[in-house]
Amino acid sequence: MVRVRIAPSPSGNLHIGTARTALFNYLFAKKTGGEFVLRIEDTDLERTSQEYVKNIFDSLKALGLNWDEGPDIGGPYGPYSQSERFNLYPEFAKKLLLSGFAYECWCTPEELEAEKELATQNKQAYVYSRKCIGAPRGEGAPAIRFNVSKTQKAFHESSMLTFNDMVKGELTQDTDLIGDFVIMKSNGTPTYNFAVVVDDMLMKISHIIRGEDHISNTFKQILIYEALGEALSAPEFVELYGPPQPLPQFGHLGMILAPDRSKLSKRHGATAVSDFVEHGYLTEALVNFVALLGWSPSDGQEIKSVDEIAADFRISEVSSSNSIFEYDKLNWMNSQYIKKMGIETLKAALRPYLAKYDLNELTDAQYTRLVEITREPLTVLSDITSDAAYFFGAGVELEPEAKDALNGEVLAEFAKQAADWDFDEEALHEKLDGFRAYFKEQGVKPKDTMWALRAAITGRTRGADICAVMAILGKEKVLARVEKAKSQAAL
């Protein structure tokens, strides 16, 4: 069975790049009838925060990427947090030590730094000297290093290690350039490359889809898989964990870059899923957009649900190139999803962004009409905070352009005529048609007439249908604003 996983580190809020990786794993599992596993890689206890763990859970759930196994729901291969698996790693490291695929290293940080400095002076890539192989025991607790050359010779004919990547095709690395790397620190903590292989083996992960920044790690992990595979063939391990897991298939996704082709960062805008959601992006639109970062639908139709994307998804068709995070395209896509929302759903979604106003000023029917007439220009839900401001409170603040649009004669005549009007929306359309015609005969352009009214009533020269706005506000509030604007027009 296909088993994929997403294994974020809880050292920050879930990044949109990690969300894209989670999505592609989720889509691959759905397409193949496989299982999607969530594992929290919290071995770095100093940087780990339960706040970030919660953010990971909440963000993935908001995107609809629900996992089949994970820390909160369990599963047959738990626990699903690395911090709860610390007892496993020393046991596996010991097996590698006994088989000669690893050895103890007593080098001090100062000795290692001196080796690196010498390599720099000689203009060479640093590779550990391996001087601790066969060396006498030192003081304190040793680190444990993986024996790259022994493993390579045991399983391969040369130092060249090759694997076929599901996205990038054949990739090769000269293992002589890797050097013997640490798999267990002297404090007993496993390093990333070791812990992830042990976890993936025991959790029966069959396919690993992740960012291309992990390619260098993959070569190390393949060697660990091979060494552990032989070590775990021992009957006592087979009885505990089952037969050794075959080497997974790997697929590495291109990076997500900012529009200026630099690394995507907060200076370009939101980067965490929760930031996008807080700003008013719909999670359906966000998932749809992220799916298109490196993948294209077969029918060319970009607006698709997660289920539609999953049915069409093929990992072999994912681009190996980097993708550009185009905020403009995301904004357009989000606006399309807003336009498609049912009115009641949209009303509920907009309420948090109107929290600064007193919605009790409006009846439900008025609020419904407000949403109907303001939804068209919305790019993100948070736009409503500004776009609907003039519907609340007694007065409005005039924008500079609106102040210039005020016309005292127009406002005075409006106040005189409108006192007897019915402020029904349909009736207002008829009355304003006549009002524009009246001032056109006086030599005032209809546009200038309506700008003067809109400016007085909303403080702006552009916005929703003015008749609908006036009907929602009501006669008393409209006339009060016009009276105030008359005095400002005379200044």
Query: Is the pLDDT confidence value at 238 over 90?
Result: no
Is the Cβ–Cβ distance between 220 and 197 less than 8 Å? no
User: Residue 326's pLDDT is what?
Assistant: 95
Q: Which of 47, 78, 86, 46 is nearest to 191 (CA)?
A: 86
Domain assignment present for residue 185? The answer is: yes
pLDDT, tens digit, 9 for 90 and up, residues 69-91 = 999 999 999 999 999 999 999 99
**Which residues are designated catalytic?**
266
Q: What is the pLDDT of residues 215-237, one digit of tens each?
A: 999 999 999 999 998 777 778 77
The stretch 52-58 carries a mean pLDDT of: 96
pLDDT at residue 270 in the model: 73
Model pLDDT, residue 464: 95
**pLDDT at site 303:** 95
State residue 228's pLDDT score.
92
- Please report whether residue 47 resides in a domain: no
Q: What is the mean pLDDT of the chain?
A: 94
Q: What is the mean pLDDT of residues 28-52?
A: 91
Angle of the 88-99 helix axis to the 192-202 helix axis, nearest 10: 100
Per-residue tokens: 232:
């775990």
Q: What digits encode the pLDDT tens for the residues 247-271?
A: 999 999 999 998 988 888 777 667 8
Predicted local distance difference test score (pLDDT) of residue 232? 76
Domain boundary among 219, 253, 287: 253
Q: What is the CATH number of the domain that holds 485?
A: 1.10.10.350
pLDDT digits (tens, 9 = 90+) for 132-184: 998 888 888 999 999 999 999 999 999 999 999 999 999 999 999 999 999 99
HSE-up (13 A, CA, CB side) for residue 72 = 12
Decide if 326 is inside a domain: no
pLDDT score for 244: 79
398: left (phi over 0), alpha (psi -120 to 50) or beta: beta
The reply to whether 236 falls in a domain is yes
Q: Give CA torsion, residues 216, 218, 219, 222, to 10 deg.
A: 170
Domain boundary among 202, 222, 253: 253
**Overall number of domains in the chain:** 2
Q: What mean pLDDT do residues 470-485 have?
A: 96
**pLDDT by residue (tens digit) across 309-353?**
999 999 999 999 999 999 999 999 999 999 999 999 999 999 999
96 inside domain: yes
> Rounded mean pLDDT of 392-411?
93
Does 363 have pLDDT greater than 60? yes
Last residue of a domain, one of 253, 278, 309: 253
* pLDDT at res. 411: 95
* Residue 283 belongs to a domain: no
Q: Print the domain residue range for 415.
A: 400-489
Residue 453 covered by a domain: yes
Domain-embedded: residue 45 = no
β-sheet bridge partners, residue 163:
171
pLDDT by residue (tens digit) across 285-296? 999 999 999 999
Which CATH number characterizes residue 185's domain?
Answer: 3.40.50.620
**Could you give the residue ranges of the DSSP H alpha helices within 170-315?**
192-202, 215-231, 235-241, 273-279, 283-291, 306-312
